[in-house]
Copies of this chain bind each other. A is one copy, B any other.
Amino acid sequence: MNHLPKDPDFEARVRRSFARQQFMTTIGATIAAVAPGEVILDLACRPGLTQQHGFLHAGVVTALADSACGLAALSLMPEGAAVLSVEFKINLLAPAEGNCFRAVGRVIRAGKTLTVCSGEVRKGAGPEAAVIAVMQATMMALQDRPGISD
């Protein structure tokens, strides 16, 4: 799918929004790529992010996919709009074992109010890396809310 960004400054805006997500700093996530309707985030696993079996906690897997999807949605929104997660669903296909994870968020349909995204999380950054989770998410554009912008 080719998406046309409404805001020519979309990449800087996505990077600013990500930089303000303090939880992304807490877990150590970084932006690997930003394109119109697609954002890629990377994360190195470390002990403080694990669940009881030593795998990356499903909540961290989800947070990474959710942020990637939200930023992908934001990349197509008009200037001044803010993005909020409405809902998402994730299937965890395999234990999140490993040192390095990559989440890809993609816009499937960008509507005026709602944007539907698909996300996936891979075990590693290469194209051969196994997919360990798939997400389907709905994001919402908030316009003209005082104090809320991205």
Contact = CB atoms under 8 A, between A and B. Distances in A.
A61 to B, nearest CB: 9
Q: Determine how many copies of this chain the complex contains.
A: 4
Interface stretch (A3-11, A31-39, A81-89): A81-89
B26 A53 contact: no
A88 to B, nearest CB: 6
A66 B57 CA distance: 10
Contact of A48 (B25, B85, B87, B138): B25
Contacts of A21: 50-52, 57
A136 B136 contact: yes
B59 A63 contact: yes
Interface string A55-85: 0011110111011001000000000001011
A136 B26 contact: no
Given A52-B17, A52-B150, A91 B138 contact: yes
A95 interface: yes
Interface of A: 17-18, 20-26, 47-53, 57-60, 62-64, 66-67, 70, 82, 84-95, 108-109, 113-114, 116, 118, 131, 134, 136, 138, 140, 147-148, 150
